[in-house]
Each structure stands twice: as C-alpha cells, then as structure tokens.
Structure 1
Amino acid sequence: MARKDQYYNKAKQQGYRARSAYKLKQLDETAELFSPGDRVVDLGAAPGGWLQVAAEEVGEHGKVVGVDLQRIDELEARNVQTIRGDMTDDETKARLSDAVGADGADVVVSDMAPNMTGEYNLDHARSVYLARQAFEVALDLLDSGGDLVVKVFDGPDLPDLRADMEEEFQYVRATHPDASRQESSELYLVAKKRITAPVRKGDELEVEVVDVGSEGDGIAKVEEFTVFVSGAEAGDVVTVQITDVKPRFAFAERVDAE
C-alpha cells in the first residue's frame, strides 16, 4: 500500500479531516509541542485536521483557535474556535488576539502551502513567504517559552528564514515527518521556547547587582528580566556581556573585571 493511501485511509477510519493530521501527531511526538491546558493557534487551519489533533492534545481545559480564508466546518470539539479571514489583516489579527486572550498563545502551528505552479523555485519562494507571515504573527501572539511550527519547501531561501527564527527562539530544527510524502520537498521548522527577553546574546550593558542567587551568581534586573552575573556581589555596578539567553532569564559575564 502506498504511503499516501495508508495515511489517507487511516484518517478516514479514525475520523480526521485530512491525512496531514498525522504529520502534526508525529511532530508533537518528537518535539513535545502540546500540553493539557495549552492555548494553540492554527494558521491556515482548513479543513481542520490539525485543529482536531491539537484539540485532543490540549484537552477540555485548553483552547485551540483556527484561522483561514476558507470556511472551516464546525468541529465537535468544544475547545475549538475558528475565525474566517486573512491572518495578516489588522481586523483578523485583532479578532485572533481577542480569542487567544491576554496571556498569549503557548503554541502556533502553520501547515500553509502555496498553490503549486510546478516551477520549483517559485513554489519554494512562495512557501517561505507564507512561513514568514506565520512567523511574524507568532511573534505577536506567543507567550515567553512558546513554540512555533511552520511548513516550508526546502531551497535556497530557507537558511535566512531559519536564522531569523533562531534569533527569537532558544533553538530551531528542521524535520520531515514520516507522514509527509517521501518524494515531497516539504519540511517543518520547529522553533522551541520563544525568547521575549530585553537582551540578546552578545549584548554589553551596565547593570546593578541587587541580590545573590543560590548558586552564588549575582542577580541583576533588566526591565524586570533576571540576569545572572558570575563573579559579582550585591551592590556591584558592573559592565557585563550576555553569554546565554533563556525564555525567562539570561547569563552574563563581567567584562570590567581585572
């Protein structure tokens, strides 16, 4: 049995609206995207296969919001809300933000793909454009530590997109789920742990150490964001360089020490 038939038939048997549901299942298995109670946004959600998977994984206390230009038939899951509109339109963005809530999203996923022309370079460029749109929307919606998944076709524009994503997340990796057709050039960029810190790796700045942590590092605050400074004591005002940034704190070394 051909792979596409296997997943198509499996989707029909298990009640999923599209075979692509198994791509998201496999992405979740490898990247641990969803947890019970999560708030999830699905961009380009029609016909709803990814909405079904996300709704199952986040459970009754979670929330899934799907957006698409096409109408999405109502799902049985009570934790799913759909919005019909262009995700880059200001009105749609406002509706999406309201639906997600003030705490932001925990996960944003996008399985969007361009209408295929058969011209590889053009299809690749259009897929990167759609992935960038999803990336930009995700930056507005994701809470600190949140995750993003976008589909893209492999090609020369991919490294620049990945580099831009790596500046905003703790790490990014590319994966090709088994449920993707073997001959397809599609892959998924999985970006983990959104960084919303006011500092970036390599930044140099002057900070005041206000406390000392349990490991002996000095603790400084930058716009209420915690920076651990090695070799500093409470009361010190020091110049530091940021060496590593996590979603909720960063590490720094003194550059003014003799």
Structure 2
Amino acid sequence: MTGKDHYYNKAKQEGYRARSAYKLQQLDDLEGLIDRGDTVLDLGAAPGGWLQVAAERVGPEGTVIGVDFQRIDGFDDEIDDRIETLRGDVTETKTLDRIRRAAGASDGESNGERGGAVDVVLSDMAPNVTGEYSLDQARSLHLARTASEVALELLETGGTFAAKVFEGPDVDDFRADLEDEFQYVRATVPNATRDESSELYLLGIGRLTAPVAAGDEHEVEIVDTGSEGDGIATVEGFRLFVPDAEPGETVRVRVDDVKPHFGFAERVDD
C-alpha cells in the first residue's frame, strides 16, 4: 500500500475531509503550533481538513477562522461552533479586511500596538498547477509570502506561523525574512507528504513584536537588576538585559538578541 493510499484511507476512516489533515497533526506534534483556547487563522482552508484538526486542538474555548475562495461546508455539531468560514481570495484587499474583522481587528489594524488578534496563522495554499515547475514554484512562494504578510499583521506576540511552499529559488530568502520576525524558523516535510511532492513547510515560532531589533542602538536608563545580575532597561515598555550596568546609569547599548518578551543588549563604548 502506498503512502498516498494509507493517508487517504485513514482520513476516510477517521472522518477527515482530506489526507492533508495528518500533515497539520504532524506539524503540530513537532512544534506545538496550537494550544487550547487559541484563535487560529487557516488560509486556503477548503475542503476543511486543517480546520477539523485545528478545531480539535483549540478545544471548546478556542476559535478557528477558515478562508478560501471555494465554499467550505459546515461541520458536525461538536466542532462547528468553533469554526467561522469566509469565502474570498486572500490576495484581495476586501478579503483581508474581512479577515481582520473576523479576527477582532478593525480599520486595517490589529488589536494590540503590534499584533495581537490571533495566536496561529496556517497556510496550506497552493497554486493551480500548470505543469511548468518554475512558474508553479514562483506562484507557491507568492502565496506563502501573502500568508506571511497576514501573519505579521495579526499574530500575537509569541504566536506561530506555518506555510507550505514548493522547494526552489528564493525559498531561502523567504526563510531569512521570516527569521527576522520570529524567534526561530524551521523547515520540515511532514511524513504525510507524498514521496513525489516538492512541498516544504516553513514554521515560524515565537512572533517577535518588540519595538527593537538586533543591531539597533539606543540610549537607555538602567532601572533595575535582573536575577543574574544584569542591568534592566526598557524601550517602550520592552525589557532589555544589559550586562555590566547598574541601576541609575544612562548608557548607550546595542541590541544583540530579541525574544518575544525581552531582549539582550551590550554596552557600546563611546
């Protein structure tokens, strides 16, 4: 029995609408993308296999928003009230506006100062395949970048992102762009992917929404001392740990590393 037959039959037996449901299960098992109570946005959601998995994993306290230009049929009573579906093309502005409203954002802005409307953005979008691989690959990358733009606007600090892309040119550049926005990025191919497929999933873990970035320089006041003895400064409420600095000092620092909720910086000698 081929891998394709295995997951196709398994989906039929277990009530999933598509064999791709197991890809999301495996991605979530690998990196813990989805937590109970999360708000999840699934782009390119039809026919709904990923919506089913996401709804199961967020539990009764969570919400899942599915978007596709194809109609998505309703689900069974157990998970249907957790799922909201929108019909539209995610590359169109009017669809993005509807996504923002469904996610609790308004006027093109997210809930928080930066991010905050959703916890997870998923994209299993793929282009209509032409058979010309270079064209199909470029289109898949465009869809993944579109999904990432939505994610960067709407994700909560520390949120996660997963997108499918066909392997090929410029994927490394896309990954590098994601690495500027997430604590770390992982590329992986779920076991449920067909052997002959060129699909690759990029996972962005720990959305960074800090008002600083690695390499930035700031003049800061040291206001406290951390448990490891480092000085603590703040930039727009964001904590920076600064070695060899004492409370009361005003120092110039260069940011070395940024985490979802704090960062590290070094003093810069004049």
TM above 0.5: yes
Query: Deviation per CA, 1:147-184, whole angstroms, max 9, x where unpaired?
Result: 00000010111111111111000111110111000111
Residue pairs, 1:128-167, within 5 angstroms? 128-167=141-180
Residue pairs, 1:103-182, within 5 angstroms? 103-182=116-195
Query: Deviation per CA, 1:83-135, whole angstroms, max 9, x where unpaired?
Result: 11122333322322222223411110000001111111111111100000000
Give 1:166's aligned amino acid.
Answer: E
Q: Which residue of 2 aligns with 1:40?
A: 40
Q: Which residue of 1 aligns with 2:255?
A: 242
Q: Which residue of 2 aligns with 1:82?
A: 85
Residue pairs, 1:175-214, within 5 angstroms? 175-214=188-227
For the Cα contact (< 8 Å) 1:45–1:68, is it kept in 2? yes
Give 2:257's aligned amino acid.
Answer: D
Gaps of 5+ in 1: none
The DSSP-based 3-state class of the residue aligned with 1:93 is: helix
Q: Which residue of 2 aligns with 1:19?
A: 19
Alpha-carbon distance in 2 for matches of 1:94, 1:119 = 33
Give 1:21's aligned amino acid.
Answer: A
The DSSP-based 3-state class of the residue aligned with 2:119 is: strand
For the Cα contact (< 8 Å) 1:107–1:147, is it kept in 2? yes
Alpha-carbon distance in 1 for matches of 2:60, 2:233 = 40
The DSSP-based 3-state class of the residue aligned with 2:246 is: coil
The DSSP-based 3-state class of the residue aligned with 1:196 is: coil
Deviates more, 1:234-243 or 1:86-95: 86-95
Q: Which residue of 2 aligns with 1:68?
A: 68
TM-score, normalization: structure 1? Answer: 0.97
The DSSP-based 3-state class of the residue aligned with 2:256 is: strand
Q: Measured at CA, do residues 118 and 88 of structure 1 come closer, stay the same or move farther in structure 2, by a change above 3 Å?
A: closer
Alpha-carbon distance in 2 for matches of 1:4, 1:179 = 8
Q: Which residue of 1 aligns with 2:57?
A: 57
Give 2:232's aligned amino acid.
Answer: I
> How far is the alpha carbon of 1:205 from its aligned partner?
1.6
Alpha-carbon distance in 1 for matches of 2:148, 2:35 = 21
> How far is the alpha carbon of 1:6 from its aligned partner?
0.7
Give 1:12's aligned amino acid.
Answer: K
Alpha-carbon distance in 1 for matches of 2:91, 2:254 = 37
Alpha-carbon distance in 2 for matches of 1:154, 1:196 = 28
The DSSP-based 3-state class of the residue aligned with 1:164 is: helix
Q: Which residue of 2 aligns with 1:231?
A: 244
Give 1:20's aligned amino acid.
Answer: S
Gaps of 5+ in 2: 105-110
Alpha-carbon distance in 2 for matches of 1:233, 1:93 = 47
Give 1:106's aligned amino acid.
Answer: D
Identity of aligned residues (%): 63
TM-score, normalization: structure 2? Answer: 0.92
Q: Which residue of 1 aligns with 2:108?
A: none
Q: How many residues align?
A: 257
For the Cα contact (< 8 Å) 1:211–1:220, is it kept in 2? yes
Give 2:88's aligned amino acid.
Answer: G
Alpha-carbon distance in 2 for matches of 1:232, 1:6 = 60
Supply the RMSD in Å over aligned alpha carbons. Answer: 1.1
The DSSP-based 3-state class of the residue aligned with 2:223 is: strand
